[in-house]
A and B are shown apart, each in its own frame.
Chain A
Amino acid sequence: MLVCTGLLTGALWLRAACPSKADESEVQNSAAPPTANSKSSDYVGSDLCEACHQDQATNFSRTIHAKLAGLPGWKNKPDKPVGCESCHGPGKDHVENGGDKTKIRTFKNLTPEQISDVCLNCHAREEERNNFRRGDHGRNNVACTSCHATHSQLEIPPLTAPAPSSQRYLSSVPLDRSKVTPQYLLIVTEPKLCENCHNETKAQFSQPYHHRVPEGGMKCSDCHNPHGGFQLKQARLATGVDAVCLKCHIEKQGPFVFEHAPVKEEGCVICHLPHGSNNPRLLRRSNVAQLCLECHSSVGTLPIGAPGTPNFHNLATVKFQNCTTCHVFIHGSNASKVFFR
């Protein structure tokens, strides 16, 4: 099976590695950023583009991108072309050659990195996106256009807003995949947008205990920064430096006099499954005692910090099978070293 998988992967690799002539011409064409080596006379203006590309121009005119032309800081700046050529590059050659596609940047066959580079020319200025290239999406070559559609915005239909909550619980009503949403030019609203690739999360959020994503109370981007960031899993941070969970679970933020060290060293996910779980309280184990004992076990000398249980903890009794009955404030306590109060 491994051999078959390897052979198949190799074949696909070769198939993908051999670009067609069209691909090559597109890559060559797209190579030079238009604003880097271009003269202002190379730009023809969006009005001329509209003569042939009326539909795209109409849609584009409704986007926020189109409105930049009238803003101070953008208009009359040769180094900051606005309109079609800000992304597609100078159109003079394209126009003079009768609409030759090889004379202008088209996005169809650009590499994901090249596509993102075009967007990052402007959008990397904000901290939200300035680490996109080194984030998980950037690293795995997910382009901006995988989630955003820059000039397909139609008049906004009512149901691009969240589907009725009466339907939303299961949220299986297939959402339109091509209509642009009112916000951020997304091709579809969250969480469907994310589930398109991360389809295993749909199962996680369908488990009996889960965060309120399918119900419409939360979005993936509340906890994850889809544009990168520096944290593992592109997680966001609360109050600058703390785990994103503490944005809402404020009573667990501390600092406490007596910290349960793994909460801070390893993070909440050491005990909890944040998307969803079959176990109460999103725990990794259905039996809490096991969750505790898997760390709090020590035999002889171990290079592990967690202390073992004392000898009066008789696991044959119900009392000691329910650790949190006594160790109530397990995330941290100000008054009890063993988290009693």
Chain B
Amino acid sequence: MRVLTIVILILAGAAAIPAQDGRPADPKSPESNPQAQKTKVDHATPDSKTSESEQTPSQASAQTPSPTPEVKAPYAINWSTEFGWRFKALDGNENEYRSQLDYDRGMRLFSGSFLARPGCGTGPLFDNLLVNSVGWGGDPTQYTHAQIDKVGWYRFIATYRRFAYFNNLANLALGQHTADNTYEIGDFNLTLFPQNPRFKAYLGYSLERIKGNSRVTYDYSRNEFPILSPFNTRADDYVLGADAKLWIFDITFEQGFRFFKNDTTFDIAGPVAGNSPGPTMLATFHRDLPTRGRIPFTEVSLHPELNKKLDITARFVYASATTDFTLFETVTGTDNSGNKVNLDRTVVNGNAKRPNALGNLGISYLATKKLTISDSFRFNSFRINGGNQLLETLLTSRNNMPLPPVLTDTLSFQLLSYRVFWNAIEADYAFSPRLSAHVGYAHGDRRVVLADFTVPPGGDLASPPVTNNTDSVFGGFRARPYDIWTLYFDFDHGTADNVFTRVSSYNYTNFRARSLIKPKKSLAINASLITNDNTNPTLAQVGTVFIPFGVDFTTRIFSASADWTPCPRLSLSAGYTYSRVDSNAAIVFFLNSVQTTGTSKYFLRDNFAYATASFQIHPRATLFAGFRVNRDNAPDTGPPSPRVLVSVYPYQRVTPEGRLSINVRKQLDWNAGWQYFDYHDMLFSTLSYRANLAYVSLTFKFDRK
């Protein structure tokens, strides 16, 4: 069947080429004559003329130019589907390949699009019906988007995605954390009276499903064991809401619910030895951890605009998340003392709650035609209260003699309380239509409380509140010194009096500049430069001495790209991005029970370059060629030292590709393509792979006006 399909696809193209040669395309046909297309479009609109002159050859071969339609059918339908066969040849590490790409051979619906619109512009049921799909049939990314609407009455938007997620990487958790899961994510939203200025209503439903085979590890009796963990998690979201105009207020109300369910189980297939040497062994293991959650959330938003001078937005959201769970775990085997574990049974019951309030207020005062003063305020506060009761029964024996049972009964509670106030005030001034600038000041105040309480042994381990105040100034401008050139620049400089995590910054300075040059509509040259400098000059007190114990990291990103369509038959695109990260953090750890002060370093030197060309080599044939390379050049990190941990990931991935599309008939394209991925892992050479991915496909098109 598979071979037959491939043969049909190839023969369809091969057979069609002589047919095309034997019967020249009708020169009057716009599909076969680009000049005709252009001429026809010239009659349409100046806009359409411009756009047509810019369209790429690949599009030119597939897009039917669209003059003002003469309505002959009740519905104008525009439909295309590309389906075909994908080939794969792989050499090297399959797990790494699947973790990065995971394309497999087989029949595919590469893409599909369908658009139906009533010829007269409006129909009894809908005004637009649009469906787009990619990847169905086995690609790791499968996506369908649909929109159907009738102006004034309703708009329904649906998105359904199915992702295959494979992760089996030897360089993470000793290669023992793996996943071969499927994510299903669907969003379905209906808006009633979407264009009504007084009232509109929303209904929404979303689903999230994660299923598949996973593997994790479990630490039992000071040894680690790989555990099978078939993933089974789902969530269902429901939302209803409305927008209303009352007096001067635009009011939005939304009420939502998420229901969460996790029925993932944990098992071993048979006796398992641990990673570390020693007597510990699992003979049997099973864990159920059914978890149920619900999150009702309510959102209210107000937006008055007063006399075109004062624009105010206020929003308040309250959510109260709850989780209930029961853990039931049984273990038999051998513990690290060599005792036989006849039964280790653990039952944990508990729940956790997270009430969360979020408030926002934004005010813009349009002081003059050129000056706007704005203030943004944010408030967020949540508390996470959780508690559980753990009951453990441990029955062991040694030399067939039962040891006294060990019974554990503990109650644990934990509290995480978080509150933030953040405010930014800024002024925006338009010097001219070509130059505008803004400058502002922001202040943030955060507070965290952590508390931990266990019975027995008892005792309140609550820490005092920790606060963090951040002050920053920011600003920037947009300049258009010439009609063809627009320049964006902004900066942000801040300081903090404390940090919650050491990788956060006491001081940071960020710059960002973007240049967009568009000499003509067929040529665009973009460039950007982004810099981040973060320092955390902490001193640590060891006895009476203070030692430097900070974290510094810098980021530099330079990116440039150009898109050029010199003529309708040729389109070129190229770009280069260089990303550089240097991170240097003082750390402390234990080497053979000796506390050691050292350094953690991380370096990224990522180069990314690409070039593509699309060329209409014949009125019926379009050739696409592309080349892309990612390369991380690890810098010289010096001689290895037990006190210095260095993290780099040198690698190179080269990806050339090509595609030939031949317009066989008015409604049929034959396509053949090839992609090659050469991944060379310079850190772990066994992870390298080379993959050839090819495909043959047919594109069917239907266009009825």
Contact = CB atoms under 8 A, between A and B. Distances in A.
B348 A334 contact: yes
Nearest to A310: B590
A230 B376 contact: yes
Nearest to A151: B47
Given A16-B435, A293-B587, 19 more contacts: A16-B480, A67-B152, A113-B428, A130-B313, A133-B311, A158-B78, A163-B111, A172-B573, A178-B47, A199-B528, A217-B161, A250-B210, A255-B322, A256-B352, A257-B414, A259-B384, A266-B500, A280-B167, A326-B217
B233 A257 contact: no
A86 B553 CA distance: 51
Contacts of A170: 610, 612, 626, 628, 655, 657, 675
A69 to B, nearest CB: 11
Given A253-B293, A314-B590, A334 B319 contact: no
Interface stretch (B23-31, B173-181, B394-402): B173-181
B110 interface: yes
Given A230-B315, A259-B416, A280-B99, A173 B434 contact: no
A287 to B, nearest CB: 4
Contacts of B487: 12
Contact of A174 (B208, B217, B543, B612): B612
A240 B298 contact: yes
Main secondary structure of the interface of A (DSSP, over half): loop
B172 interface: yes
Contacts of A284: 602
Contacts, number: 619
A168 B430 CA distance: 40
B437 to A, nearest CB: 9
A206 interface: yes
Interface in B469-491: 476-482, 487-490
A294 B590 CA distance: 14
Contacts of B250: 124-126, 130
B577 A285 contact: no
A115 B305 CA distance: 17
B75 interface: no
Given A139-B438, A172-B626, A341 B218 contact: yes
A133 B374 contact: yes
A248 interface: yes
Contact of A206 (B147, B572, B608): B608
12 contacts: A19-B434, A67-B152, A173-B612, A182-B115, A241-B357, A248-B183, A257-B388, A278-B651, A303-B498, A334-B352, A334-B388, A341-B218
Nearest to B43: A55
Contacts of A80: 197
Contact of B172 (A169, A288, A306): A288
Contacts of A340: 218-219
B69 interface: yes
Interface in A230-286: 230, 237, 239-242, 247-248, 250-251, 253-259, 261-262, 264-266, 270, 278-281, 284-286
B579 A203 contact: yes
A280 B170 CA distance: 10
A125 B130 CA distance: 26
B112 to A, nearest CB: 8
Contact of A141 (B448, B478, B649): B478
Contact of B586 (A240, A253, A297, A311): A297
Interface string B342-366: 0000001011111011101010100
Q: Which residue, B46, B172, B699, has most C-beta atoms of chain A within 10 A?
A: B172
Given A265-B418, A290-B600, A298-B588, A239 B256 contact: yes
B151 A67 contact: yes
B525 to A, nearest CB: 10
Given A110-B433, A125-B197, A297-B502, A178 B167 contact: no
Interface stretch (A40-48, A57-65, A89-97): A57-65
A178 B521 contact: yes
A109 to B, nearest CB: 5
A113 B63 CA distance: 36
Contact of B185 (A27, A248, A286, A316): A248
A324 interface: yes
A305 interface: yes
Contacts of A325: 173-174, 176-177, 217, 219, 224, 275
Nearest to B607: A203
A161 interface: yes
Contacts of B213: none
B501 A287 contact: no
Contacts of A302: 538, 540-541, 549
A109 B489 CA distance: 20
Given A156-B78, A254-B384, A334-B348, A217 B44 contact: no
Interface in B254-296: 254, 256, 258, 260, 262, 264, 266, 275-276, 287, 289, 291, 293, 295
Contact of B600 (A62, A253, A294): A294
Nearest to B695: A166
Given A239-B258, A270-B503, A335-B289, A139 B245 contact: no
Interface string B587-600: 11111110111001
Interface string B605-616: 010101010100
Nearest to B303: A130
A252 B549 CA distance: 32
B204 interface: no
Contacts of A61: 121
A1 interface: no
A249 to B, nearest CB: 9
Contact of B671 (A13, A23, A166): A166
Q: How large is the interface on A (under 10, 10 to 19, 20 to 34, 35 or more residues)?
A: 35 or more
Contact of B521 (A113, A177, A182): A177
Contacts of B542: 299-300
A16 B435 CA distance: 5
Given A140-B476, A251-B233, A326-B224, A134 B362 contact: yes
Nearest to A176: B55
B526 interface: yes
A106 to B, nearest CB: 11
Interface string B679-705: 100010000000000010101010100
Nearest to A271: B503
A87 B372 CA distance: 21
Interface string B626-655: 101010100000000010011111010101
A213 B303 CA distance: 33
A126 to B, nearest CB: 6
B668 interface: no
A52 interface: no
Nearest to B233: A251
6 closest residue pairs by CB, A with B = A155-B66, A257-B386, A161-B113, A240-B297, A203-B577, A19-B432
Contacts of A295: 501-503
Interface in A185-223: 195-200, 202-204, 206-209, 212, 215-218
Nearest to A313: B590
B311 A124 contact: yes
B47 A59 contact: yes
A55 B275 contact: no
A308 to B, nearest CB: 6
Contacts of B577: 199-200, 202-203
Contacts of A204: 579
A159 B480 contact: no
